[in-house]
Structure 1
Amino acid sequence: MNIKNVYILDDRAILYLNGEDTKEFLQNLISNDINKVNQNNSCFSSLLSPQGKFLYEFIIIKHKSGYIIDCEKSQVDGLYKQLSIYKLRSKVEILNLSNEFVVAAFSHEKFLTFEEAKDISGFTLKYREDPIFLDPRNKHLGARLIINLEKLYLSLKKLDLHDANMNEYYSFSHKLGIVPKDLNKLQNKLFGIECNYEELNGIDFKKGCYVGQENTARIKLKNKLSKRLLPINVVEGELNEGESIYYNDNEIGKVLIDKQYPFALIKYLDENFNEKANFNTKNAIIKIEKPNWIKS
């Protein structure tokens, strides 16, 4: 990413949770430890089904007396509804501020030019009153500013950042191996841990119970993780969601996201999985590359 580029992520949404029970409420639901979130640190997390399957993912940022949740806009209504169901009588207020606040992303290098910045994933600072944080999933994905829409362009001018095409940012995310969009296509299709959440700092295996914790911990402790969500590059042809992926007639995975930034659930430990090989679907030849931040 160019150090002067900024990407206005208008397909992101903002929820704000506030109230005296908010911290405990989130701690009992999310896959990460809410105690990691403070004025100087933000975290990546997910909300899973009771069976441990993927439902929603988001970044949590401490702001004033509550917490900002940065999520994909296509997921915000479902996430809002799910949180409201779990809320019951808890003293928690859930606000959808997506029409008032915007998410702007810029480079890792630009973030490090801030005087207080530290080169740590999730590190958070304030630009005036607005949070800026290095992406907690992977610092190479850059930083994000969450700001009121009315203040956005004046702040970007003062920061010497220039609006660039959002697709450039999402292409970089796909190349890095991190799903940029179309997350609803993953719902209930794979376990959260198969989304590489351990490597993306999205699961805390030392915290107490949360929704989906039992199966997540079992897969981890019994070394049952045999499939991972990995990016696809199309060599030729066309992908279709849900179709199988083959190597020499042996099925090694399934396409889950088929459009602009495709991903598949891959049996990455299978003897037929070779990162250097070409793979086939019904109508396409593809490449699959395991990101270098996945060590096993």
Structure 2
Amino acid sequence: MRLGVDLGGTKIEIIALADDGRELLRQRIATPQGDYRATLRAVAGLVENVERETGQHGTLGIGIPGAESLVTGLIKNANSTCLIGQPLRHDLQTLLQREIRLANDANCFALSEAVDGSGRDAATVFGIILGTGVGGGIVIERRVLTGANAIAGEWGHNPLPLPATDDLPLPPCYCGRAGCIETYLSGPALAADHFRHTGQQLDTACIEARATAGDTACEATLRRYEDRLGRALAGVINILDPAVIVLGGGLSNISRLYRNLPACCAPHVFSDVLCTKIRPPTHGDSSGVRGAAWLWD
């Protein structure tokens, strides 16, 4: 049995997979906010509960919204800031008395979709998370690319390409920079952009629903979002040239993205034709929990 944990900023999810990939059990709890020790106990409690219910002992992979330093073993670049500077792998291995494989949550998402999801037929898959934060992961021939600095695929903290008047002033990012892709393309960023232009405080689902019903202000907000996402993805395509890009996170549920993004990317791609496919996730917007389990494939 393989166990996968997705340690997110708002929820912690665990899945148990049989050796053939069948889902045996899935559970989800709220993430303790800003409390590292409570987060450790929550993860350990989920693992112990699932193993008790299944009557099996499993390998364990964990996806996190950050990366593990290759030098210190401490967590870096996490938008769940209570994890930063903590020896997460060491502490969980001590608590659970087993080896743990740890990876960025976007890497886990990309791996899940590359193994048996929307990128199963592709040699190179770029998986992105559009949620509370923005992340990316690269899988080549069903293997996660970690990179020399453990940041492969981390496009969310590159600058948004070709800032237009509507993109200014550059929004500050928690990482200390300004104008990061994440500050434009996360769920909170979409809502904030709509508020700046309209004074209306609406969430993503409401903006999408109103745009579908003909609300011109909400339609304009989504068009700005699609234009920015198209520019950002074109930069990835120009460097990585993936066969498939799979969208994940809550904003991947906006169905119009799959119709509109190719045309938003194409003018910025250094090619006479855009062959990269942009697809929704086969396993839903929380597919990454399955990828965490597949870290033991």
Query: Shared fold by TM > 0.5?
Result: no
Q: Which has the larger share of strand?
A: 1
Q: Which has the larger share of helix?
A: 2
